[in-house]
């Protein structure tokens, strides 16, 4: 399968992408003080393709870690684990503004 760098992956094609050797990765970010995760497909050559919803064109976003785990388990049932990052891409911990940090 040939993928061009800079291309995106639509949500309806994720299962096929995985069946062709692609992997899934998740990237945490903060939205309104809450952790959220973006979905990326990683090609066998290492290129990352962000996943967008076919219907709306919006980025595929998970609002909680359980949703990430459930989605990954449904798409990649043979994987024994999934990495759900708890820091953003810059290495910053995500803490809700009202969280107790002691």
Question: Which CA distances in Å does 3 have to 8, 9, 71?
Answer: 9, 10, 23
CB distance 26 to 88 below 8 Å? no
pLDDT, tens digit, 9 for 90 and up, residues 86-95: 887 776 665 5
Over range 38-50, report the average pLDDT.
95
Least reliable range by pLDDT among 25-29, 64-68, 95-99: 95-99
- Render pLDDT for 50-68 as a digit per residue (tens, 0 to 9): 999 999 999 999 999 999 9
Predicted local confidence at residue 7, as pLDDT: 83
pLDDT at 74: 97
């Amino acid at each position: 399968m040939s993928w061009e760098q800079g291309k995106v992956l639509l949500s309806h094609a994720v299962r096929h992408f995985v069946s062709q050797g692609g992997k899934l990765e998740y990237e945490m970010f903060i939205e309104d003080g809450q952790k959220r995760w973006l979905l990326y497909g990683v090609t066998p050559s290492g290129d990352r393709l962000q996943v967008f919803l076919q219907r709306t064109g919006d980025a595929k976003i998970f609002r909680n870690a359980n949703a990430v785990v459930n989605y990954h388990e449904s798409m990649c049932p043979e994987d024994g684990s999934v990495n759900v990052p708890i820091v953003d891409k810059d290495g910053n911990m995500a803490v809700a503004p009202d969280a107790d940090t002691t």
